[in-house]
Structures are given as C-alpha cells and as structure tokens.
Structure 1
C-alpha cells in the first residue's frame, strides 16, 4: 500500500516566520488532474485544500485529497477521501541552511473503522534541510513506521520573473523508496512548470503542467482507469491559489 505525504509540508515551512512569535495562517486550494505521490498515481482528478497554522518556528496543519468523478476505485486508491494531519518545527541553522522536522498522520475517513485504524492509517516522521542558494535545493528523509518504508528525496526549484506580478516557476524532485519486509524498492521523480500571478501581497494564483513517474515494474501512472493499463510515467496538470494571513 502507498500513503501520501502532502505538499502542505512545503507550504508550512515557507509560512513559518524566522523569529517573530506571531500566529500565522496559510491556505492553499488546488485542483490536480491526477493525484500522484512519489511517482505513483493514487487518484484521478482531485481537489486538494490545505491549511497551516504557525507560531514562531512551530507549525501544524491539515491537507486533503478529495476525489472528483466516479473513476477513483480500483485500480486507483480505493480509500476515497484522504486527510493528512501534520506538525513540525522549522528553524534556520545559518544564513543559508534551514532545518525542518515533523510527523504526518495519514487518514482515510471513508475506509478506516476509527481514527487510529492501523489497517489503513499510517504514521510517518520526516526531517530535512533546505538551502537558500541558487536552485533552492532541499533534501528530506521520511520514515513510515506503519509501512516500514524509508524515503529519501531531493528537490530543486527556480522562478523566472515575467512581469511585475507574474512568474514562471520550475520545480523538480527525485527520490528513492526503500521498503522493508520484502517490499519493492523503487526510484521516482517529477517535474513541474507553473505560471504564477500575485493578485495581492499575500495571495497568488497558479496554473501549470506536471510530469512524473517511477521505475516500478508494470508502471505506476494509470493510463486508463477503466481498463487498468499502466505506464511508467505520465503528464497531468494543476491549478490553484494560495494565501497567507
């Protein structure tokens, strides 16, 4: 089984103030034509809202994946709606290095018999470093204690200004999943390209394309959910907006 670590963690780290002990709120609402996590497609189209609260260097929040349409059963993620709860601590180690660590609890309300149902819900701890240098590289390690799996992932990003309020944002990630107890280890990657427009000092809108996949045997991107045919990689698109208060 696969579980999803939400991109809201990245939003949370960005929203944590460097030193001020103030309460901050950030929100993000996205629509993605595929829900792909670590190279594996878990749903077709989904709405993905998120909210993060921060105070000083601490943050906590929730991220959702809400399937759209009727084609989200097997061979896609059979658990329906997903709710990921996370909390962490992020702080600068130097002028260019920031440390981040926390825990995520992945829940599936439609499938679980209770909030702590270990047959579907899982716990994962994470820690990583991000660097304020060209390409903004980062490296993270994740450990899912329920699935006995470790993931190492690195990422880069770059933003090209197109106009006063518009930018062309590129991102890329590469990771490796190590599955204990006879599971399948695999390599995955993804690339994103977004056009972003800042409609205010604290809010922005974006639309863009994604490409990703993995080297899992038999493929991990579902080409036809009705026939259940798989490809090793695929394209999809997304649109959304984010705001902070």
Structure 2
C-alpha cells in the first residue's frame, strides 16, 4: 500500500512545476492530541518539511514527545501528498508510521504503515473532512483497515468550532463514535515590528473516552 502514496507523490512532483516552494517548520505543543486522542503524556516537538508546486503539496510531518521511558516516549513520522482544487476541494493520501518498527514491511504482506485517503472541502466559513484507512496494519501502525473519520468545522472569526467522529483506531470500542469536539483560537506573539511567533490553542473534549484536553502550541 505504500506504493499508492509514492505514486501520488510522484504525480504531484512531476506535474504543474510552477511556483515551487520548499519550507521547513517546527511546532512545539504542550501535548500531542490527534482527533481527540492524547499521545505521549508529555510536550511534543512536531517538525515538518513541505514542498509545494502550484496546487500540489508533498510533505513530511512528525511528532516526538520530550518525555523519556515507556510512559512519555512517543514518535510518529508521516508522509503525505495532496492536491487542492481552486473551488475548495482537496484530495490526498497520508502514510502514518511510528518509529520502533521497520519502515519497510514487517513480514510478507504485513505493513508497518497505515495508508489513509483524505478528502477535504471548504466553502465560506464551513469545512468538511473525510478520511479512510485502506490497509490492515494492526501489527504495525495499529489500524485495522476500513477505519473512517469525519469532521465538520466552522470558523467564527476569533475562534473555530469542530466536531469529529470515527471508528476503528479512533474509538475505544472500534465502533463509530464522536471522539473530537472542541473550540480553537490563534494569535501572534509580536517579537519585533517585523517578526511574530504564531500561537494557537484548543479545548478538546472526547466524549468516547470521557477526557478533556487543553492544547497550546507555538510555530517557528
């Protein structure tokens, strides 16, 4: 299934080579919360490298906890590719990988990656996302295959509202559950007249796990 992502990345790389840009970034969050689930039990460093060419984007993104030992240690290294249409639709694929297992196949036909197809749509202040895991990676990344996640968002000026629901690896039961309800906001920390550090935060409730998370981070 990794071939699916690499094919998408290859098409993106060799098509529409105008307005190319290569960028690198680093986010620092007090927690890593993904779709309502808390990972790592410690602050998280999240590096990224992104190549854009026209409407195509290729990227690598990671999350590495600052804690040590079995309780705090967590690592993630993802690859993704996407194409954004001018009318608000975006299509893509993401490969989720967690260091500690082989980046290649664990055994014949057993993948260490969870490959997810991504669809997003934005119109006015509303957004919608749909995601689908295409492969069984229970012995590697932990997804059974067929896992789905859907999210609705609304931008209300100073803050954003969102609600997400999913099954498979998103919920404690494996059944379709509401797992990610929250409100987020952002601001710039002005350092000089020409330099500011973006900061964002969110209050996130996971009704499925009955946990509340407060996440704040800065970007460089």
Q: Same fold (TM over 0.5)?
A: yes
1:83 aligns with 77
Task: Write the distance in 2 (CA, Å) between the matches of 1:60 and 1:232.
Answer: 33
Which residue, 144, 165, 189 being the options, matches 1:176?
A: 165
Q: For structure 1, list consecutive stretches of 5 or more residues without a partner in the other structure.
A: 1-18, 161-169, 220-230
Aligned-pair CA distance for 1:119: 5.6
1:1-245 correspondence runs (5 A):
21-43=18-40, 44-70=42-68, 73-74=70-71, 80-93=74-87, 98-109=88-99, 111-117=100-106, 118=110, 120-131=112-123, 133=124, 136-146=125-135, 147=143, 148-159=146-157, 170-179=159-168, 183-187=174-178, 188-197=180-189, 204-216=196-208, 219=209, 232-241=211-220
Cα gap change, 1:20 to 1:112, in 2 (>3 Å):
closer
Contact 1:190 1:213 in 2 (8 A): yes
1:16 aligns with none
Question: Could you report, residue by residue, the CA deviation over 1:2-50 in whole angstroms, capped at 9, with x for unpaired residues?
Answer: xxxxxxxxxxxxxxxxx98220233331111110011110122110111
Larger relative contact order, structure 1 or 2 (CA cutoff 8 Å, min sep 6): 1
Higher strand share: 1
Task: Write the distance in 2 (CA, Å) between the matches of 1:205 and 1:158.
Answer: 22
Aligned-pair CA distance for 1:122: 0.7
Cα gap change, 1:27 to 1:191, in 2 (>3 Å):
farther
Question: Could you report, residue by residue, the CA deviation over 1:160-206 in whole angstroms, capped at 9, with x for unpaired residues?
Answer: 5xxxxxxxxx22321110339x7232212232222225779x97512
Aligned-pair CA distance for 1:52: 1.2
Higher helix share: 2
Contact 1:57 1:89 in 2 (8 A): yes
SS of 1:92's equivalent?
coil
Instruction: Give the total of aligned pairs.
Output: 188
